[in-house]
Structure 1
Amino acid sequence: MTDADRLADALRPHGGEVRTAGPADAVDGVPATVVARPVTTDGVAAVLREATAQGLVTVARGGATALDWGAPPERVDLLLDTTGLDRLVEHGAGDLVVVAEAGLPVAELLGHVAGAAQELVVDLPPDRLAGGSTVGGALSTGASGPRRLQRGALRDLVLGATVVLADGTVATAGGTVVKNVAGYDLAKLLTGAYGTLGVVVRAAFRLHPVRPDRAFGVAAGPAADVAARARSVVASQLAPAAVEIDRPAGSDVAEVAVLLEGAGAAVGRRAAEAAGLLDGRVQDEPPAWWGALPGGPGTLAKATATLTGVADLLAAARAAEQRHGAGVALRGTAAGVLHALVTGTPGATAGAVGRLRGAAPSPREGTVTVLRASREVRAALDVWGPVGGLDLMRAVKRQLDPGRNLAPGRFVGGI
């Protein structure tokens, strides 16, 4: 009996399917052998229990919009397709809470809660949202967008989760109400871990009422000036929902856009004040680049910095271009979470990433993590860079997945 046959036998009582992997069933270039698509939590547990008993490596896949982020897994014996877990379990509109299975596309969740004038403030990049990014995939990659400035990233909005561990154990942490903060915060622990600690099968999130009116303050100028103006808005009493900066590759000029949300004429007044601080203008629509990652071929990295360190990061991008001959586009929140698209040879890219890391000399001051890169670029640099707490992360991995059966090598330190 083959591995696939044993997996199919384990899944059969719970529904779903097991099939031989095809050419499209790969994770960052690493081909899978078998694909399982369970439709229940018990099915996920049965498949993982059998896979681990066989010593198989399992990697979970949702909408496949970010499978080339992180590092390639060491191998993929079993690709666990979560799209069969696609139910919206509960929408407690009165409590501003939604519970959804991991395979539900985020766009569908947003569409459902919009009917109650509510939203999950996740702000996925438009291409991931349109591509079918799922609830589980968004959690696995630690998604966040422009409005994290005021309402936090997705990890701040997750209230609880049901998770299946490598040995098939089903664990539940957190709850479905905002006041529930007791217990081991497994949901936040798994957010951004690239599926290396467990497979999320269900999650509960805090929602927000939709704010009906919005306006933008927009300005452009030398990158250092833009960073200073953006910082003044973040520190102001205007309560901006988002303050975003865009610096195209090769440019000495950057653009800043401030989002003000609320109801009525007060939004326009606040936008006018923001535009005054920016020495810019007010407009009803966001700039074309708003909310999107820097696009095109190249190496995609996530850069973090302190509020005052954003200017240093912008300066480092220009210095990297002049020193290494690479292109470095930067875009993200002025509070210090940006994405960089680096173009050039592997050597030039490695040099540019090193220059960006030099703008934040310690993990407490900022980090630069490579999300997507060619194998040649990965060979030329450390994709994770300096990471604080790595020993603790490894200890958690040993506790939750002692056999390294879940996506080994996908996360920092080979976790």
Structure 2
Amino acid sequence: MSGEDQQARVEADGAVGALAASGVPVRPGADRDAVGGVVPRWVAEPADADGCAAVAAAAARDGLALVPRGAGTKIGWGAPLRRCDVVLDVSALNRVDHAAGDLVVEAGAGTPVEDLADVLGASGQRLPVDPVVPGSTVGGVVATGLSGPGRMLYGPVRDLILGMTVVRADGVAASSGGRVVKNVAGYDLGKLHAGALGTLGIITSVTFRLRPVPPAAHTVSARADDPARARELVASVQRSHTAPTAIEVDRPAAGAVTVHVLLEGPKDGIRARADEVSSLLPGSSVSEDLPEGWGELPGGPGDTLLKLTSPPARLPAVLDALAEAAPDAGPLPVRGSAGSGVLFSALPSATDPVNAVRAVASLRARVEEATGGHGSLTVLDAPRPVHDAGLDPWGTVPGLPLMRSIKKNLDPDGVLSPGRFAGGI
């Protein structure tokens, strides 16, 4: 079907007349546009933030459910949508405004993180957010709240946000922080929308604080025979004065755990710091390169992706729980930050859906028990059959009534990514 035929089909549909009248290109949804297995009725492709606002306003008038999309690398994350009428493609929003002298950048939501890194790197600067999912866009990273190894030193992505512009469910643009003067409705949009999975608004641009690119970096790696020994190695580094950027653990399956310590800083002194860390990790090696798989999520396509948080001191108990979580799947891989207590794991795609649901529930209970109620397990992504088998992606969510109140305030008709977040938000 030609582009003109597609547009004619859209305009012929009375229910989407307002969308077509917005002036934004709109086409029928196709299989490649599916969100969690649900093919949208239409896909709108605005060229700028004003176009996003026009589509949102038109969708609101017709009561259409709207789902923002950048590169689509994490489009299925969260719970299944209750409905999906319009996918709003923000990939054209890729403008970058870099104020190098202020160590600040404003980037459109559709900007690929790798492209942003190239722009900043030309000025010797960087956004210290690891692209743990290749191909991610700025909007996708913020909407999922995903942070990699650098989280230990620089904090999660939400802490790097100076300002943000979003389009509300009614099509009104709102900005806060950064280069604007006035906050909107008393909310810190950066904190509010980071990790909200597009359920509170459509992110159109984000302003970040930046860091200089470190002149030098070394990675010290050591193997530990069991989780308890891995924790001892991590604790020894944390007690030192070496100021690591990240302390990561990596275990492909049961058995040995590899501890990686990333050090960054001036060339003078970096080797001495690496040698000091190496002295704390018997049998370790030192490299100027990052280890293979650095910052990447474990698992593969079709796996059930898990995120576990716990106090760093409870690392051995969490690793032990992962080794025993799924009897039919074997020990689970784990990778993540031992320094900040954020780990990732994955149930293999071959796991029976019912058994996957049981494994998640069992592991969640084990994590909560092992951490004295201070840990959690959420399911970031899962195949539709696992969801249909009764998966609870979130578990107990503190503050859920407040979240519902905020959702009702910002999206009273529940048209933004409906059902994708905790509690059916």
TM-score, with structure 1 as normaliser: 0.92
Quote how far apart the aligned CAs of 1:346 are: 2.5
Which of 327, 331, 335 is equivalent to 2:335?
331
Quote how far apart the aligned CAs of 1:397 are: 0.3
Change beyond 3 A, Cα 1:277–1:328: same
Matched, 1:76 2:79: no
Alignment of 1:124-203 (within 5 A): 124-125=131-132, 128-129=133-134, 131=135, 133-176=136-179, 184-203=187-206
Quote how far apart the aligned CAs of 1:231 are: 2.6
List per-residue Cα deviations over 1:145-175 (Å, max 9, x = no partner).
1011001121110111011100111111111
Alignment of 1:15-414 (within 5 A): 16-88=24-96, 90-125=97-132, 128-129=133-134, 131=135, 133-176=136-179, 184-221=187-224, 222-249=226-253, 251-279=254-282, 280-296=284-300, 297-321=302-326, 323=327, 325-334=329-338, 335-343=340-348, 344-357=351-364, 358-361=366-369, 365-378=374-387, 379-414=389-424
2-structure distance, mates of 1:353, 1:229:
29
Check conservation: 2:299, 2:333, Cα contact below 8 A.
Answer: no
Aligned length: 401
Equivalent residue letter for 1:245 = V
Quote how far apart the aligned CAs of 1:363 are: 9.2
2-structure distance, mates of 1:302, 1:112:
31
2-structure distance, mates of 1:396, 1:183:
12
Change beyond 3 A, Cα 1:275–1:337: same
Change beyond 3 A, Cα 1:404–1:302: same
- Percent same amino acid at aligned positions? 45
2-structure distance, mates of 1:285, 1:175:
34
Check conservation: 1:83, 1:104, Cα contact below 8 A.
Answer: yes
Quote how far apart the aligned CAs of 1:42 are: 1.8
Equivalent residue letter for 1:105 = P
Q: Which moved more, 1:107-116 or 1:326-335?
A: 326-335
Q: Which consecutive unaligned segments of at least 5 residues does structure 2 have?
A: 1-12
More strand per residue: 1
Change beyond 3 A, Cα 1:110–1:364: farther
2-structure distance, mates of 1:299, 1:354:
13
List per-residue Cα deviations over 1:301-324 (Å, max 9, x = no partner).
111111112221101112324x56
List per-residue Cα deviations over 1:41-92 (Å, max 9, x = no partner).
221111111101101000000000011211121111011000121111x211
Q: Which consecutive unaligned segments of at least 5 residues does structure 1 have?
A: none
Check conservation: 2:299, 2:347, Cα contact below 8 A.
Answer: no
2-structure distance, mates of 1:402, 1:235:
49
TM-score, with structure 2 as normaliser: 0.90
Give the secondary structure class of the aligned counterpart of 1:315.
helix
List per-residue Cα deviations over 1:216-275 (Å, max 9, x = no partner).
1110122220122113213432110010001122x1211010000011131111111112
RMSD (Å), alpha carbons: 1.9
Determine the structure 2 residue equivalent to 1:7: 19
Check conservation: 1:302, 1:339, Cα contact below 8 A.
Answer: yes
Quote how far apart the aligned CAs of 1:124 are: 1.1
Give the secondary structure class of the aligned counterpart of 1:85.
coil
Change beyond 3 A, Cα 1:355–1:230: farther
1-structure distance, mates of 2:358, 2:271:
44
1-structure distance, mates of 2:195, 2:229:
33
2-structure distance, mates of 1:234, 1:377:
39
2-structure distance, mates of 1:121, 1:265:
22
1-structure distance, mates of 2:329, 2:20:
52
Check conservation: 1:224, 1:315, Cα contact below 8 A.
Answer: no
Quote how far apart the aligned CAs of 1:376 are: 2.7
Check conservation: 1:326, 1:345, Cα contact below 8 A.
Answer: no
Change beyond 3 A, Cα 1:369–1:94: same
1-structure distance, mates of 2:281, 2:176:
44
1-structure distance, mates of 2:157, 2:189:
14
Give the secondary structure class of the aligned counterpart of 2:67.
strand
